[in-house]
Amino acid sequence: MQDIESPEIEEDKPVRPFAILWGGQAASLFGTRIVRFALVWWITDITGSATVLALATIMALLPQVFVAPFAGSYVDRWSRRKTMIVADWLIAMTVLVLSFLFATGLIEIWHVLAMMFIGSVFGSFHFPAMQASTTMMVPRKHLGRIGGMNQALNGASNIVAPPIGAVLYVLLPMQNILLIDVSTAAFAILCLAIIAIPQPKRKEELGQPSVLGDMREGFAYLKKWRAGMILIIVAMMLNFLSAPAFSLSPILVSSHFLGGEIELAILQSFGAIAMVIGAVLLTIWGGGRRKIITILIALVLEGVGTLLIGLVPSDAFIMAIVFYAFVNFLNPIINGVLIAIMQATIPPEKQGRVFALIMSGATAMMPIGLAIAGPLADLYGVPFWFLISGVGTIIISIAAFFSSELRRIEEYAKSGEELEEISSQQIIDPVETEVNDVDGEESDFNF
């Protein structure tokens, strides 16, 4: 199947190719979530340490900070379909190696951490390729609803995966559980192999820039796009606070509420049900006329919910489930609307590199937060960090309301004045050589 070049975005686009792409990625996501639950509980069960669990999350995040900016430039140069095929295949191979180590009894904690890091490197190519492909395959007016569908899928996988993962963790050896992820990745690759994904036509008025030139052009775009830069800074601060809290949920369940894998599965499943409800609401609603206001209001409420989780006493697990579900209800609304704004605003030929840079910036503070939160949670308990996260989120989100640039971010998508000026710029690195094609090669940044 050959990719096709699309010189412009058309509103009348066939549904079938995107449906096949979405279905394959949905299956792969379900497999990944089941395996992730089993691995996270294995780490929790073996170590019982918030620091080790935080370190595992850091290993998964670091490539998104340091690899994603380069990956985005390559995504804009390569076939996006081939990029996703190769990324899915390489991720499956890392899981297969991990399965072998479990089967032979050679597995150690550092093996799992290393494979999380390597898998995340390949995922750094997959995420911008998928987001940029969506823009080329879906009419702009439906991007908000597609964002809702993606968040609904994310929530549905979190409903099904924890209980399945908990049951499989009890019944099956870990090496067999890991093979689920390999098989669903194979299905996703098959779906990609039978469809074509339009490629945007690159503007080459002044010649072909290098990969580093592409990156600098992406940085120049974000530097000129002041509202986008403010949004990234807000995301960095919020991710510094919130990522550690929810990454340490297994320790919250085991240490604070004295629960096991079943209690963790219940907590995550109810949170996922709420996520699906929020995503379905977004799919029907589309996010409202002023989408950025929707995001900021939802962020304030999310901060309140996070604060309440930290205040729940150890004998009130049901109350924690309610607040956890409330936060998860808001999460798909925030992220689905945010991605829709980005897809409608950023020129299609730049989306790979710009999405990657945004993801890198939004993720950059998460490893630092985890490195601080892990030892503090071991010392003072995980609820302590939920309190910090909740209060901080409320303060930052309210402060963001006072940014006139941020409140006007959607106007750029309508007028195009600032974006046309940025898009017309071309940055060339005369030292680097051109990358024309990679035949053998071609994932939600979150608040």
CA 182, CA 89: separation in Å to the nearest integer? 9
Cβ-proximal residues to 363 (8 Å cutoff; 6+ apart), any chain: 61, 64, 65, 68, 239, 445
Residue 339 region by backbone torsions, left for phi larger than 0, else alpha for psi between -120 and 50, else beta = alpha
Please say if the pLDDT value at position 443 is more than 70: no
| pLDDT > 90 fraction of the chain, expressed in percent and rounded | 26
CA 163, CA 170: separation in Å to the nearest integer? 11
Q: Transcribe 79-121 into DSSP letters.
A: -HHHHHHHHHHHHHHHHHHHHHHHHTT---HHHHHHHHHHHHH
Cβ pair 230, 358 in contact under 8 A: no
Per-residue model confidence (pLDDT) at position 142? 73
pLDDT tier, 226 (very low <50, low <70, confident <90, very high otherwise)? confident
The tokens describing 353, both together, are 């590199």
CA distances from 17 to 2, 151, 318, 340, 353 (A): 13, 20, 43, 20, 24
The predicted-structure confidence for 267-315, as pLDDT tens digits, reads as follows 988 988 888 888 888 878 777 777 788 889 999 999 999 999 999 999 9
Stretch 153-176: mean pLDDT: 84
Calculate ∠ Cα 166-169-173, nearest 5°: 165
Per-residue model confidence (pLDDT) at position 4? 52
Which has the higher per-residue pLDDT, 9 or 354?
354
The predicted-structure confidence for 9-55, as pLDDT tens digits, reads as follows 445 567 788 889 889 988 998 898 899 889 988 998 888 888 888 88
Per-residue model confidence (pLDDT) at position 301? 95
CA 63, CA 61: separation in Å to the nearest integer? 6
CA distances from 236 to 103, 193, 233 (A): 39, 36, 5
β-pair type (198-200, 4-6): parallel
Per-residue model confidence (pLDDT) at position 434? 31
Domains and CATH numbers, the chain: 15-199+208-423 (1.20.1250.20)
Which has the higher per-residue pLDDT, 131 or 109?
109
Per-residue model confidence (pLDDT) at position 144? 66
Per-residue model confidence (pLDDT) at position 208? 55
Per-residue model confidence (pLDDT) at position 109? 92
3-state secondary structure of 258: coil
Stretch 316-339: mean pLDDT: 90
| pLDDT > 70 fraction of the chain, expressed in percent and rounded | 84
The predicted-structure confidence for 366-422, as pLDDT tens digits, reads as follows 888 888 888 888 888 889 999 999 999 999 999 988 888 888 877 754 444 444 443
The predicted-structure confidence for 227-253, as pLDDT tens digits, reads as follows 878 888 888 888 889 888 888 888 899
Per-residue model confidence (pLDDT) at position 430? 28
Per-residue model confidence (pLDDT) at position 324? 95
Of the listed ranges 101-110, 244-253, 369-378, 433-442, the one predicted with least confidence: 433-442
Per-residue model confidence (pLDDT) at position 423? 38
Which has the higher per-residue pLDDT, 249 or 76?
249
pLDDT tier, 67 (very low <50, low <70, confident <90, very high otherwise)? confident
3-state secondary structure of 403: coil
Largest CA distance in the chain: 66
The predicted-structure confidence for 170-218, as pLDDT tens digits, reads as follows 899 999 999 999 999 999 999 999 988 887 765 554 455 666 777 777 7
CA 57, CA 191: separation in Å to the nearest integer? 29
